[in-house]
Structure formats: structure tokens, C-alpha cells
A and B are shown apart, each in its own frame.
Chain A
């Protein structure tokens, strides 16, 4: 007995086998369908965060076997403090790499940010309030990014060369400013708020509240997205998988807070880093600008023909790079409570670019996620930190860091070949 109610006049999407059997049936996918699709993606070179997670586990096991101090709560909070500035600057580099460009100037641009802020904070000379000094410093570094972006796009000079020139220019500026305003080459920061950025910790309770906010926020977004897709008849992630992901995040987050609370607590700077990560991830994946960034990186000609102002996107990306370098520079200055003639030097540039690439952002453009800055910074800082504990010399450390970077680039090149092999049939 099939006494059906009236057929709607418009063809209903109900019989998917008939009307749209070509696509996977609308509604919830099963876990195995989802896993199959993910594994297929890995095989064709969409590796995502897979290599990094494997690498991170390998690093933690290796160093904790080699040195008993590596996996301690003290060292864990140290790690959080050390990685924040690197991850922050690396977020800007991720954007630059997404459009298949490079910014070699970020380390010294970050130093310019730190120095400008420090000079503006000097008591009575001019003794500006912290928020104004920070604001002006970020304005300066963003303007530097703008200027470099304009030269790159309007003059058609490769970003490699322009930002290499920038590296020299801004290192010179840092040297000039620090020697001009100090005798010993070091300028101290007195402001308590600024010093607190990278040296203060959350109370234990605040740490737990933060963990709860992170998990509830993530769960809320995931569930909302899934519900929205299902009510519109689009295939969504399986419920089991969402639950597993939320549970996984909850375990990692609570474990991290518990571990940090056994020492001094969760550093304030970690909170700043998380906010920056969430914000820029949102920009990259949920806003039109972010989509255009990926489009420009994937195929600039297609983007141009689609009516995207490619030059404007490029300039904006270099401004993001400058801005994030400024934020990272302020974090670094705060951590040392000072700036000096050698601020921004050393291996900062190497670590930052390595973090973005190791995190899984492709050097060839168009592939990568903002969170890869965090993952890559975690890896690179863990290695640095572990090698310091082992008492390795600078030479050994450079060699090993270089090898890790090389490995990451090789993985990227391999993945790119797999993608290309599938793409051109």
C-alpha cells in the first residue's frame, strides 16, 4: 500500500539514487566512507598534518629516552614560552607561502617592531603607555610589509630579492637604532604590562577555564557546521568522528593544562597565540579574502580571470606578514625584557620559515593551513630544546635543524609530485 501524499511540483531531492546518484548520497557519511576518502587524499599527496604528527611523536620519544629532563613539566612550560614568537611570525609566513612567495625579512622586521616599541616605552623619553607603543610598533611593521608588497607587485621583482634587500635594510635599521639610543647596545623594558606578555602565567583555575572554552568552542563550531549541512541535505561528517575529534582535543588540551599547572601554569603568551591562530584560521578558511589567497596561490591566472585583484591580495598578504612579524617581535622583546643590537639575528629567520614548511605548508603555493605554523613551531622548538638539554654545540644543532628542514621539504616535493601525477591525466 503506497498511498503517498501529493508529490510536490518541484522535483524533490529525496530519491538521491535517481536524481543525484552521481554524488555520494546526501546525509551522513559513515566513518569508513570518510576514512576511505581521507586515505585516498593522502595517497594522491594531500598529506595534511599526517607527517607532522608522526614526526612530533618520534621527537618526543627520542628526546625523552635520551634525556630525563625533556618530558618534565618545567621543560613543557619552557617549550610553550619558546615556541610562541616563532609560531606567531610563522603564521605570517604561512600566508606568504600560500601565494607562492617568500618573505626573508620577517626576522629583522620583527626586531624593528620590538625596538620601536621599546624606544617608545623608555621612561619620560617619550614614556608612552604600553598600548600606544605596541600599536605604533605594529603599524610600522605592517607599513614595512605594505612597502615590500608594493615593490614586489608593481615592479614585478621576485619577493625573494626584495625581501632579501629588506633583510639587510631592517637589520641595519635595528643596529642604527639600538646603538644610537644605548651605550652598551641593550635597551631595557621597564613597563610591567609589556614584560608580562611573555613572562606571566595564568592561575590554575584560569588555565582550566581556558581549556573548557577551547573545547566547548571547538565542539560548538563542529556541531553547528554539521547540523547546518545536514538540514540542507549535504553530506556531513559522521557523528562518531565529530565525537572522536572533540574527545581527542579535550584529552590533549586537559593533559596540557594539567601538565603546565604542575609547574607555573599556562603562559599568558600561549593564550595570545591561540587567539591569533583562531583569528587567522578563520580569515583563511571562512572569509572571501582567504579563499582568494588560496586561489592566487593555486593558479594566479585563473584568479585574475575570475576577477580577483591579484596584486591587492599579494600586497595584503605581505602586510599580514609584516604585522605578524611585529607581534612576534614584541613577544621576543618581552621575553628578554630588552632589545639589543643582535635582536632579530641568529637563526630566527631559519626557525620561522622552517616552522611553516615543517608544519606542512607547501613552498609551491596554495597548500597549507594556518595551524601548521603552530605544529611546525612545536617541532622545531622541541628539537632545539632537546638538543640544548643534550648539550650539543651550535654546529651540531644547525646541522640537525637543517636536516629536519630538508626532510620536510622533501616530503612536500614528494606530495606535490603525487598531486601533479593525479592532476594531469
Chain B
């Protein structure tokens, strides 16, 4: 791939007290690609995503968007860069309908009055484009939707704002088989539309169904970067549980303590 990755983290580190959550990690995703981010609990997946999301700054390392070095100081900067993050179940207000949720915080108005018709049309258009076809009505409150439908609405919401990079945190964790299939096909649709997609998942079956490449984290380090086409689930599992570490965790402090 000749062009630079749409999103790239170079050599990022983050420590919480004595715990080195991220230890000189490189991470990248290209436009039109689905990059899976896998690893056991505590491997640093969430820390990496939260750093990109501007929830807290990295201690060390740089972030590049489209080859340009960027500084992220908070969630607002992230949205401006075209990065949208879809969290598991924090994205939607149950009491509002689909349209209101998709426009929450960015409502369209005409002479200070909500322009419901315009918002409804735009929501329908986005949902139709993404082939989200299971909703009965866009005026249904989100509380009445199934888990898969909710996730689809959350993802569509993220896409509607001309985002270029979409990060999905465990999008299929609470879903049944059919709903998982629905969300994964939506993920593929996003990549086909030229977006860079990052999907965090514990479920390797899901990962192999939709990802192009797989980044494996273990104990805060990147232990593997695999092409889906020439790897196997066994190989990924091996990397997750026993991938070779460059540095022994805790070594730096031990050395620092000695010095």
C-alpha cells in the first residue's frame, strides 16, 4: 500500500502507576480496510482506543492521521479529525427515537426550531445506504430495538457525520447469531465505502469473518500483525496467549530502581 495509513499510532506508551498498560506499541489502519484488534483482558486494547479517543493522553508516542502528525486533546478533537468511536452500550439514549439519537447533540434546526423532517430524511438515507434493513420505523424509540438493531443504529450514527475512521468496541459482545451476522456485514459495508474500520473483539470467529488484518496485543505490547488470508485461528490464539514479548514487563522499573 503506497499511501500512508489513514490512522497510525507510532511507538505509543501509557502507564497507570506501576502498570505499563501500553509499551511502545505501533498500530495502523488503512482506508477501506478492517483492522481487528485482539488480545486477552488487560492486553491494552481499551487503553489504546481510549488514547486515540482523547479520553487521556499517551505518555509517549505520536498519532498520525492521513500521514499528518496530530495532537488530540479531547473527544472534540477526535470528531474533528473524522474519527468516530462506537462504544458497547453507551452510545444511545433509550427514550429517544432512532432519528433523535442519530442527531443527538448535532440537531438540525430551521429558525431555531428542530427540523424533524430533514433529520428523518437524512437518517433514512444513511440507514438505507448502509443496508440497515431491519428497523420497522425510524420513529421507534431505541428501547424497543434488539441488540443488533441498536448496534446498527450506533454505527450508522457514527458514519453519518462524514467520519473516515470508525472504531468499534466489542460490537458483537451481547448479540445473538443472526444479529452478529447483521453487524459484521455492516462492518464490511463500511470498509467497502472506503472507511478505515477498527474492530475490537474477543470472538475470533467474528474477527475472521470480517477483518482484513489482525493486530494482536499481549501485556501492552504488539506481538503480531497478521494478514487474515495467510494465518489461522490457532496462530492468533497462540499469539494472544503466548506471543513473544520484546521486553519483560516490569523490567524497566526494576532497572530504574537499581540505578
Residues in A lying within 8 Å of B, measured CB to CB: 19-20, 22-24, 37, 44-46, 228-229, 232-234, 286-288, 291-292, 294-295, 297-299, 301-303, 305-308, 365-367, 419-420, 422-425
Do residues A23 and B96 form an inter-chain contact, with CB atoms below 8 A? no
Do residues A299 and B90 form an inter-chain contact, with CB atoms below 8 A? yes
Do residues B135 and A306 form an inter-chain contact, with CB atoms below 8 A? no
Q: Taking A305-B90, A307-B79, A425-B146 as contacts, is the C-beta distance between A295 and B96 under 8 angstroms?
A: yes
Do residues A294 and B93 form an inter-chain contact, with CB atoms below 8 A? yes
9 A-B pairs, CB-CB below 8 angstroms?
A22-B128, A232-B121, A294-B95, A302-B90, A307-B106, A308-B105, A366-B93, A366-B94, A366-B95
Residues of B within 8 A of A45 (CB): 143
Of listed B76, B96, B127, B128, residue having the most chain A CB within 10 A: B96
Nearest 3 interchain pairs by C-beta: A306-B105, A298-B93, A366-B95
Q: Please give the distance in Å from A361's CB to the nearest CB on chain B.
A: 12
Residue from the list B105, B121, B133, B145 in contact with A22, Cβ < 8 A: B133
Question: Does B227 sit within 8 A of A, measured CB to CB?
Answer: no
Question: Does B104 sit within 8 A of A, measured CB to CB?
Answer: yes
Q: Taking A292-B105, A295-B104 as contacts, is the C-beta distance between A302 and B114 under 8 angstroms?
A: no
Nearest-CB residue, chain A, relative to B85: A305
Question: Does B67 sit within 8 A of A, measured CB to CB?
Answer: no
Q: Taking A232-B121, A302-B93 as contacts, is the C-beta distance between A423 and B142 under 8 angstroms?
A: yes
Q: Taking A20-B128, A292-B105, A302-B104 as contacts, is the C-beta distance between A287 and B112 under 8 angstroms?
A: yes
Do residues B137 and A302 form an inter-chain contact, with CB atoms below 8 A? no
Do residues B90 and A234 form an inter-chain contact, with CB atoms below 8 A? no
Nearest-CB residue, chain A, relative to B117: A232
Question: Does B42 sit within 8 A of A, measured CB to CB?
Answer: no
A373 to B145, CA, bound (A): 29
A228 to B121, CA, bound (A): 12
Residue from the list B105, B144, B146, B147 in contact with A44, Cβ < 8 A: B144
Chain A proximity mask over B76-97: 1 for CB below 8 Å, otherwise 0: 1001000000010011111110
Residues of A within 8 A of B40 (CB): none
Residues of B within 8 A of A44 (CB): 143-144
A305 to B83, CA, bound (A): 13
Question: Does B109 sit within 8 A of A, measured CB to CB?
Answer: yes
Do residues A286 and B113 form an inter-chain contact, with CB atoms below 8 A? yes
Q: Please give the distance in Å from B9's CB to the nearest CB on chain A.
A: 21
Beyond A22-B132, A229-B117, 17 additional contacts (C-beta under 8 Å) are: A20-B128, A22-B127, A22-B128, A23-B137, A23-B138, A232-B117, A287-B112, A291-B104, A298-B93, A298-B96, A302-B101, A303-B105, A307-B105, A366-B93, A419-B94, A425-B146, A425-B147
Residues of A within 8 A of B141 (CB): 46
Nearest-CB residue, chain A, relative to B138: A23
Tell me how many residues of B have a C-beta within 8 Å of chain A: 41
Do residues B124 and A20 form an inter-chain contact, with CB atoms below 8 A? yes
Q: Please give the distance in Å from B108's CB to the nearest CB on chain A.
A: 9
Q: Taking A23-B138, A307-B79, A423-B143 as contacts, is the C-beta distance between A301 and B90 under 8 angstroms?
A: yes
Residues of A within 8 A of B147 (CB): 424-425
Chain A proximity mask over B239-258: 1 for CB below 8 Å, otherwise 0: 00000000000000000000
Question: Does B41 sit within 8 A of A, measured CB to CB?
Answer: no
Do residues A291 and B95 form an inter-chain contact, with CB atoms below 8 A? no
A316 to B112, CA, bound (A): 18
Number of A-B contacts (CB under 8 A): 108
Residues in B lying within 8 Å of A, measured CB to CB: 75-76, 79, 87, 90-96, 100-101, 104-107, 109, 112-114, 117, 120-121, 124, 127-128, 132-138, 141-147
Q: Please give the distance in Å from A360's CB to the nearest CB on chain B.
A: 13
Residue from the list B87, B91, B120 in contact with A234, Cβ < 8 A: B120
A69 to B143, CA, bound (A): 46
Q: Please give the distance in Å from B171's CB to the nearest CB on chain A.
A: 15
Residues of A within 8 A of B104 (CB): 291, 295, 302-303, 306, 308
Residues of A within 8 A of B87 (CB): 305
Nearest-CB residue, chain B, relative to A24: B137
Residues of B within 8 A of A19 (CB): 128
Do residues B117 and A294 form an inter-chain contact, with CB atoms below 8 A? no
Do residues A228 and B117 form an inter-chain contact, with CB atoms below 8 A? yes
Nearest-CB residue, chain A, relative to B175: A425
A286 to B111, CA, bound (A): 11
Q: Please give the distance in Å from B166's CB to the nearest CB on chain A.
A: 14
Residues of B within 8 A of A37 (CB): 137
Q: Please give the distance in Å from A94's CB to the nearest CB on chain B.
A: 14
A302 to B134, CA, bound (A): 23
A234 to B128, CA, bound (A): 14
Residues of B within 8 A of A46 (CB): 141
Q: Please give the distance in Å from A376's CB to the nearest CB on chain B.
A: 19
A424 to B94, CA, bound (A): 10
Q: Please give the distance in Å from A134's CB to the nearest CB on chain B.
A: 27
Q: Please give the distance in Å from A356's CB to the nearest CB on chain B.
A: 16
Nearest-CB residue, chain A, relative to B154: A302
Do residues A288 and B107 form an inter-chain contact, with CB atoms below 8 A? yes
Do residues B94 and A299 form an inter-chain contact, with CB atoms below 8 A? yes
Q: Please give the distance in Å from A340's CB to the nearest CB on chain B.
A: 42
A288 to B116, CA, bound (A): 11
Residues of A within 8 A of B93 (CB): 294-295, 297-299, 302-303, 366
Residues of A within 8 A of B96 (CB): 291, 294-295, 298, 366
Residues of B within 8 A of A423 (CB): 94, 142-145
A395 to B106, CA, bound (A): 52
A22 to B114, CA, bound (A): 25
Do residues B136 and A302 form an inter-chain contact, with CB atoms below 8 A? no
Residues of A within 8 A of B79 (CB): 307
Do residues A291 and B117 form an inter-chain contact, with CB atoms below 8 A? no
A233 to B138, CA, bound (A): 14
Residues of A within 8 A of B101 (CB): 302
Residues of A within 8 A of B120 (CB): 234
Do residues B113 and A291 form an inter-chain contact, with CB atoms below 8 A? no
Do residues A422 and B143 form an inter-chain contact, with CB atoms below 8 A? yes
